[in-house]
Amino acid sequence: MNSSGISKIVKRNGQVVSFDKEKIVSAIFNAAREVGGKDRRIAEILADKVMHQLEISKVPPMLPSVEEVQDIIEKELIEEGHAKTAKAFILFRYEHAKLRKGREQLLATSGNIPYKKIWQNLSWSLDHNCYSISKINERIENGSYPQLVLEATEKYDADIAAAVEKVIARKDHVRIIIIAGPSSSGKTTTTIKLSEHLQKQGYELIAMNLDNYFFDLSHHPRDEFGDYDFETPQALDLKLINQHLSELLAGKTIQMPRYNFKTGKREAETDSLKLEKNQLLLLDSLHGLYGPMTDSVPAENKFKLYIETLCQIKNQDGEFLRWTDVRLLRRMVRDSWHRSYNPKQTLEHWHYVRRSEIQHIIPFLGTVDHLIDGSLAYELPIYKTHLFKYFPEFVETYRDDPKRQDAYIRARRVHDFLAAFHNWDDESVIPKNVLIREYIGGSIYKY
């Protein structure tokens, strides 16, 4: 018998059934038992708090839903200091949602990304109370946002260290390390970090930046908007790349080109490069997994890494943010100061980025040796400070333009989730050697 005025509850299928407070007690106690809890009385006290919140939020004849009750349970567990029990309860919810809907609808994921990696990221987000916009906002409000910066940095560094261990295990054969991934996933910083780690193992990494192998703009076709497609592998001089790779492994010296993105041309100057003993060649490229990019190199001599922003952050509607939107914001910030593109140009160009990722990157994920998560749980409040002011105009500009509906849909989606984040404008809490500095500037590294 329920002492409150709540007697009915709405199930997920819409069916109205009798409300039973004891089910709340059992749900909390079962989650507590998963982490060593033994006091059922605590579960009963917490259930009373859940009931109180329900009574405040639901005035008859309004009925609570199962999802609403579970949301309140989750909130009360965290606010009352039962973080471990909260995690167990949240994982319980996800496991059951997985059974109902299938994995692909449960997480922000891709069929080509190993599910174990995604689940590890979600678990980390739960442990560090940053799995939703509201939780990240809470960390800003309670003053723990700078600590979140450090926690995310430690996570990323540990991922890099794990990749290095695999490289060392194959040190007798590996001559080239390939870092691939979609645009603005963090390839360049990851390259630098790997170099730092491997130097401690007695190896020197020599970077061969394939962005320097772009053809001049005069060789690029334009679309109906006069936009260039930098995202296709054919925008790179694949023949010259393979020639240079083959020559390097044979002990020869090559002359690497230099590409100037502001002029859209290769410069007259070149850079000499030769691969010495205890040196590994590092390829940082959007298309590093694309077969024709490195056909001249035997498979055993290559170690392939893939990096993606595998964030597991829910918006205000309980939906996971899209990885590609996070990368879009990174590129908007970087392009505005590094490549003389304004945010509007970056947004209009993004359909090329997505098309190329789907065609030339995602199909090859099954060939990689290690997967690195380049997402940063703290980054979106920073991008809001840099970019949100532009998005209302983007939404209005593209709303009724039939040729720019891709830009409109993307702008609308990004506008809505950025609006829900608190701003963060004190970038002094961000170390000078972390991945986000590749986009916002102020890094100790040269890009």
User: What are the DSSP calls for 81-146, one per residue?
Assistant: T-HHHHHHHHHHHHHHHHHHH-HHHHSS--TTS-HHHHHHHHHHHHHTT-SBHHHHHHHHHTT-HH
pTM above 0.75, yes or no: no
Structure tokens at 292: 């024709």
CATH number, domain 134-440: 3.40.50.300
Provide the 8-state DSSP code for 185: S
| Amino acid 100: pLDDT | 56
> CA-based Rg of the chain, rounded to a whole angstrom?
25
Give me the residues of the chain with pLDDT under 50, please. 1, 103-106
Closest CA to 92 of 113, 64, 70: 70
pLDDT of 104 reads 42
Note the pLDDT of residue 164. 96
- Say what the pLDDT of residue 200 is: 95
**pLDDT in the model for residue 447:** 80
Q: Convert the pLDDT of each residue in 36-71 to its tens digit.
A: 888 889 999 999 999 988 888 766 667 888 888 888
- Domain residue limits, the chain: 8-106, 134-440
Residue 123 has a pLDDT of: 84
- pLDDT tens-digit profile of 377-405? 999 999 999 999 999 999 999 998 888 98
pLDDT at position 105 is 46
Q: What is the pLDDT of residue 4?
A: 59
CB 425 within 8 A of CB 318: no
